[in-house]
Amino acid sequence: MEQNGVCCPKFNPSPWDNKIIEWNNKRFIKGRVSTIFYMPINFGSKIVELIKKVNDSGAIFQDAMCLSDHASKWSMDIYVAVDKEIPKADNVIISGKFLSKVYEGKFTETDKWCEDFKKCATDKGLSIKRWYMWYTTCPKCAKKYGKNYVVIFGEI
């Protein structure tokens, strides 16, 4: 819920920057967003729909984490982290080890971030199987906080 013009919690990059994270049966609910050349069209309405399901079920939206998997130029899967199974939702479990790295700046820098992330993984001798992006705040809250953090997770 929005309070004082802010709907997203302030993000602390320290626990996520240049770390190996291990998830063991981490719960998410999944939604699909339409995109045009990777640019989301209905992200806001889809995240509101998913968060409503979380709230209506009495579950917790963990870490305000919503991962994006850019499946194609035309669609993106999003995964909202939750603490329990959600009725009438596409419940998904993700397990594995992930390299995570935090970036800050405009979304137009995403290609640069991805190249840096590939190099970071290669320098560590790691091979990335699957990628997720965590856009930690909406554009309005990023402007309010003065920082636009994005975390890239690469399954290793």
Domain ranges for the chain: 21-155
Segment 87-97, tens digit of pLDDT: 999 999 999 99
* Nearby residues of 94 by Cβ (< 8 Å), 6 or more positions away: 23, 26, 28, 79
Look up residue 80 and give its two tokens: 């909202």
pLDDT for 107 beyond 90? no
State what percent of residues in the chain have pLDDT above 70: 96
CA gap 123, 126 in Å, rounded: 7
pLDDT band per the 50, 70, 90 thresholds, residue 3: very low
pLDDT for 4 beyond 70? no
CATH number of 21-155: 3.20.80.10
CA gap 31, 105 in Å, rounded: 26
Decide: 41 and 31 in contact? Cβ < 8 Å. no
Helix, strand, or coil here: 124? coil
